[in-house]
Structure 1
C-alpha cells in the first residue's frame, strides 16, 4: 500500500503561556497542504524500514513510522511489514512532515490489517506519537490549543486560492525556536480573525515565532516581503520552522535562489 503523507501550515500562531511541565500552550490553526512524502507499507517476513530522499537525522528506531507500528502491534500483534519512506517534506521547516508520516502509518496499518479502528481510535494512538500527530488523521483545518493537541472546528477555507511555500534550507529545531519566546495573551482572538475577512490577516494574524527568529535569520523576512511584493494576500512563517508561505488570488511565479525548495499548488482543501 502506498500513501502520500502531506504537510500542514499554521495560520497564525500565538504562544499563550508557559506551562508548569515546561511546555507552552499555543493558539493556532492547522491547515493541510499538498507537499507530501511517499510511504509504502507491504507485508513481509521480517520488519524492515528503509528511507530515501532527504536524509532523516537520528536513528531509524526513533522514526515515528516504526514507533507507530510498535505501538499498535502491542495491542494487535501485527505481522511484520516492510516500510519504505521517501522523504520529500523538508525537515525543520515547520511543516509537520514527521508527525504526518507517523499518523499516516497508523491509517495504513488500520487499513492493511483491517483493524477496524475508528477516527477516535486512531487519534488515541496518534496522540502517543506527538502532539500534532492526531491532526493528520482527519486532515482538515482545525483550531488547535493546549500544546497543539486540543482541536476545535474552524470555518476557514482557502480552497481555490494559490499557495507558494519557500524553504530556504535553514533547519530550525523546536527547542531553538522556543528559546526566544515571550508568551503573551493575544490582542485579538485568532478564531474570530480567521473566520473574518482575509484582508485583515496581514496586519492582525501573526506567527509569534517571527519576532525573534526573523532577527536571527534575516533571510526569512526577506522572503516574506518578496511574497507580499508579488501580491500575496497573506504571508507568514509556518510553525516553529523556517518555511515561509504566501497565499495568492491567482497563480504566481517568482524567481527564487536555486538552493531553495519551492512548492506551489492550487489549494484543494
Structure 2
C-alpha cells in the first residue's frame, strides 16, 4: 500500500517504511510426509532446487531445527513471478509454517522470523498476513488490526522486474525522479484503532517507470477508470488500483480486459485476528 525508502543502511540495504496488505489471491501449497525431500511446481517453469525459495526455506529450517530435511511439497502457482506482490516470499513463509507443523516443531511465529528474514526482507510479513507495517529492511513487522477499506484491481503485465536492480539504481536517480501523484491518506476498516497516517506512495515507482514507460500508462489507466489510488506494487511490474466499491472495481476490470491482453484480477483485502 505504501513503500518509502528513508535511508541507506551500513550493511548496504535500504531503510524502508512500508505498509503491507494481504489480499485474497494466493498460490496453493500442499505438504505431505515423506522419507526424503521433494518439491513439485505446477503452473510455472521454476527450479525445484535451492534456487527456489521454497527449497531454501525448507533447508534452512532443517539446519536451524536439527530435523532431517524431509517432506513432499507441491506448489501450485497463480501469483505472477517477479511481479512485486511477494509470490516467492509468501511461498517461503508458508513453507516455514507448513513444515513447522509437519515436523512437529510447534515453534511460535516469532521463532520463525529470523529464518524468514534471512530468506527475504518481506518474508516475515507473510508469517502474519493481514495488515502490517514493515520497517528496517521491511522485515521488522508490526501487525495491525483490520484491513484497507476498498476493493483492489490488480493488473499483471506480461513481464517481470528484478527487485535488486531497482534498488541498485535508487540512489543514482533519487534526485532525478519526478514527484509521484499525491493521493489522500489510506482509510482502514477498524474505526478507533491507532493507525499511522499513511499516504499511498511508492518511492521505487518512478525508477521503474523510467525503465518501462508503459507501466506509467497502465497506472494512469487505472486512475482513469475511477480508482482514487493507483500504484506500482513493490518493485513491479504488477500495479493495483483501489476502488471505493467492488462494483466499481468489477466495471473497471471488464473495461480493461477489453483493452489489454494480460491479466486483471479483482481482489479484496484480508484482515487477520490480532
Smaller-chain TM-score bracket:
0.7 to 0.9
- Aligned with residue 229 of structure 1, among 217, 220, 224: 224
Aligned ranges 1:58-97 → 2 under 5 Å: 60-74=49-63, 75-78=65-68, 80-97=70-87
Structure 2, unmatched stretches of 5+, are 189-197
CA distance in 1, matches of 2:116, 2:168: 27
What SS is found at the alignment partner of 1:84? strand
Q: What TM-score, normalized to structure 2?
A: 0.81
What SS is found at the alignment partner of 1:176? helix
Deviations 1:54-95 (A, max 9, x none): 222x56222121122222223242462111111111111110
Aligned-pair Cα RMSD in Å? 2.6
Q: Corresponding residue for 2:162?
A: 173
Structure 1, unmatched stretches of 5+, are 1-10, 197-202
Q: Corresponding residue for 1:12?
A: 2
- Aligned with residue 53 of structure 1, among 33, 43, 46: 43
Contact 1:43–1:79 (CA under 8 A) maintained in structure 2: no
CA distance in 1, matches of 2:19, 2:168: 22
Q: 1:164 to 1:211 in 2, by over 3 A?
A: same
The answer as to 2:23 corresponding to 1:28 is no
The answer as to 2:236 corresponding to 1:249 is no
Q: Corresponding residue for 1:214?
A: 209
What SS is found at the alignment partner of 2:123? coil
Contact 2:130–2:270 (CA under 8 A) maintained in structure 1: no
Q: Which of the pair is proportionally richer in strand?
A: 1
What SS is found at the alignment partner of 1:181? helix
Contact 1:17–1:24 (CA under 8 A) maintained in structure 2: yes
**Deviation of residue 248 (structure 1)?**
0.7
Contact 2:133–2:142 (CA under 8 A) maintained in structure 1: yes
Stretch moving more, 235-244 or 149-158: 149-158
The answer as to 2:98 corresponding to 1:98 is no
Q: Corresponding residue for 1:261?
A: 263
**Deviation of residue 258 (structure 1)?**
4.9
Contact 2:41–2:48 (CA under 8 A) maintained in structure 1: no
**Deviation of residue 243 (structure 1)?**
0.5
**Deviation of residue 99 (structure 1)?**
0.6
**Deviation of residue 155 (structure 1)?**
6.3
What SS is found at the alignment partner of 2:22? strand
Deviations 1:164-220 (A, max 9, x none): 100111211012212331358xx9xxxx94468xxxxxx953211122221221211
